[in-house]
Amino acid sequence: MLEQIENIDWGNLKHAYGSALDVPNNIRNLASLDEKIRDKALYNLYGNIFHQGTRYEATPYAIPFLYELIETESVKDKHKIISLLVNLALGYEEKYLPDGVNPENFRKELLESEANMTDAQRENCEKYGHSISALIDCYDYMKNGIPTLLNCLRSKDVRIQKAALYAISWFPEESEKSIPEIIKVLSNFEEEIEIANGVLAIGLLNKQSKNKIDLSPINYCLKSDSELIRTCSAIALAKNPIEKEILEILIEGIKSGKNLNFVEGILFNEGRISGYASTTLSKYGKAETEKIIPVLCQVLETVNSYQALDITFAILSIINDKRTISIKDEKLEDLNLLELKVLDSIYKHGGWTLGTGDFVNYFELLRSAGIPDSKDELDKYLNKK
């Protein structure tokens, strides 16, 4: 196991803390029988080859060896290694929801960003080990290991099976092989969490696949007695123009409140199903604005600050869809009733704080959407003082 790992010139590769010489030992330690050693190695790898979402020139070289660990019978905690692989390939993968990864656009955008770099930016990348080609390699190396993940679908360890199912769903180029395997395991699932994960995986692959996919298993699930399964099925099947049945199920799921705000065991969108349904509506339900916005504003009252990010993003995506001037640059009297309702809901129920401090991510979301980006500023805008 890992016999070839020293054939890589790790000393001449960089990660977040400079030389990548420590990477081989961390990878080896993932195979330790000591859980503390494994956890420490995983922590180190999340810190150096995946530092706050950033990947480095050393990152893709680690991926084949991580797959080797997954293929080794004696290795523990394989589900954690699979989760690491997803992050190495995509960064924070939730940013690709609700449509999943479009491989062509993924490459095109990266190559365009590389072509448009200034000399200073190129020097900075070289200095710190950032590399556009490494990001593309990370995706490709991960994709090359899909056969290994398909084998993991047959694992008796539910954690491994679930992690593999989730990982596979981000690679639509492999859908011709992966969808039939997912459908096989889906037919054997009995627990609603397992069924919901399977449905979401098929739906995500379908949205970017060039192959015609049999969606009858998901259509069948629309009639489930489980609100979770119905909502996940509607998320999976949503498209433009949105069908009335899909719209109603998504709204029903969002209105259910705390039941779907966080569902333990769902990996997609970190279990925030109400948020996932909301961003799905923001993508496909813009023609139903007057029906959707009041529901989303109502839900904003029931969620925590992290969940509020999803809901608020969905709301702002809808009301900004055809807007040419930022709301903060408009006069209050020029806003329509729905826009005023949105601002009032955000002011009263937005995710302004996290613990005892400001929730910076929420402020940044509002700023990027052209909304007064602090509660005080929004207060002044709404003339509440």
Q: How far apart are the first and last CA of the chain?
A: 67
Q: What is the pLDDT of residue 165?
A: 97
Distance of CA 267 to the CA centre of its chain: 9
Q: What is the DSSP string of 307-372?
A: HHHHHHHHHHHHHTTT-SS-GGGS-GGGS-HHHHHHHHHHHHHS--EETTEE-HHHHHHHHHTTS-
The closest alpha carbon to 55, from 116, 164, 128, belongs to: 128
Which position has the token pair 């990878």?
Answer: 27
Q: Which residues, 6 or more positions from 367, have their beta carbon under 8 angstroms from its beta carbon?
A: 373
- pLDDT, tens only, 332-346: 999 999 999 999 999
Residues of the chain with pLDDT under 70: 257, 384-385
Q: What is the pLDDT of residue 384?
A: 60
Q: What is the pLDDT of residue 25?
A: 97
Tally of CB atoms within 10 A around 364 = 12
The closest alpha carbon to 199, from 273, 113, 104, belongs to: 273
Entry pTM: 0.91
Which position has the token pair 């929004």?
Answer: 378
> How many residues does the structure list for the chain?
385
Q: What is the DSSP letter of 194?
A: H
Q: Kindly state the tokens that stand for 120.
A: 């200073």
Contact 205, 143 (CB under 8 A): no
CA angle 121, 127, 131 (to 5 degrees): 65
